Structure 1
């Protein structure tokens, strides 16, 4: 194992938190149980990393093995990446082809290597008939940079693929071409949907957000939500109860009983012409539309929106522009004059 691969192993293992070190190494499945037992996992991390690198070297670990370890680490830390969603399509009337995952891998790698000599492509099969692809880009004159890879997650026989941010934007058309051809599709477009939570993106595009996440009844008894004053007028109490029931009913009809998919933001770009009864002034003569950007952000945006009306912060129902995010599979919107 040369110094370049040893350094790649070292930097990859250093990223792994000590609390998850054993879990990641076992999922990697390169070192045996007996070999892992020879390592003291209670020593300082620098010494632990050195012992693990030496163990990998004794097993003649390759660049491919190091890349697989990096994929496993990324699978356990998906939220460190920002994921985009791409949707593919076939020609009208085209039959669904029989899909072979090994053929997909071979075709994908062949297309990349045909166009770019220095590129490292690694695959790792995952659950639900999906595959993780790791691509480390190089150039015609430089070896691949293993520390700035792009990841692709593709679910077999579906039109959807998820990609992490690619720092070499110029290589994205090549990646998308390889993905489209290898999966037997003809066209690919980027959806207006992005998040750090890969599972939530998958649940949205596959319409699984009422199944993937554990179902629970989020409504609470009105006796617990209404803090009644002993001296309050009974008519006011009745009106409050009726309104609370309406808000809860509308919220449940809009969002359902299940926890919402996790998104961090929704972005709205507004383009509108200036309108006024007085046809004078700079704005009235302006031909270009007025533009503004509105962004809602939260660690869990959809759950935050779901709680607005019951908390009395907003009227129920909320605007469809806020509640349509899962159904439209979008969190980027452009609003223009009709």
Structure 2
């Protein structure tokens, strides 16, 4: 009986350690805020064992991992991360870990860049790796980074893969491509069209699609199109022929809501209601007035909506305190 309890405790400890290593890895590659890392667990482990074994394991899953060699997070982020590991190690009075200082030495003198890689680990293995801008706003757009609603919609898709399987999907305002690449990699759509209008965003989007093995040449069911909401024609929409339309974090500026609603009206104005596409819009509600104005304009255009409720699996790290809402549109 005593041995059984000891084995269960040992198994639980191993699971906890594996979970902690996974948390460090997921947060590191997504460049999450350092405060969100599970430092308390590391601190307790250092104090109780006076060993750097856990730090060594963390290094192997982050800075020394093959994914970091191919798609490294920003120099500044890696420097801050390694400095924090060193601070925790020294505070616990543990012997210095050479690999830790070697890793820091590599980034101390490295040149900072305006771009970096972020990698979002998928539950079935593998990762979506993206080139993103370090600055939230750059080149006159916010479309060069991944936003929370895109992460939420990607998680919803992973929970509802059957909703995309075999479908022809059009994504509005694809940004750097996180949601669409996740769906293409995990949900089996028949065709997927990424779209955006800003030249810099489109270039980065095409690069990221190619980076994740979804090139238009090798995967003809995937396309990237320029789409200006104000200028999109019914013929362009007909040629795309989507039976599902999705968008994440596109309701953030009252100046573009009108053109968005006009485009959605065209999408939902096919002659036969039986062939109307399913339309999902996922939004982070930063300004209630802007979001309410969007819904009012939908109503004026004769477009109804219903809120999609229910929890999603926590796959990607982001601020879950944010107000995020997903709606399905209908005529």
Which bin holds the TM-score, normalised by the shorter protein?
under 0.3
Query: By percentage of residues, which structure has more helix?
Result: 2
Which has more radius of gyration? 1
TM norm structure 2? 0.24
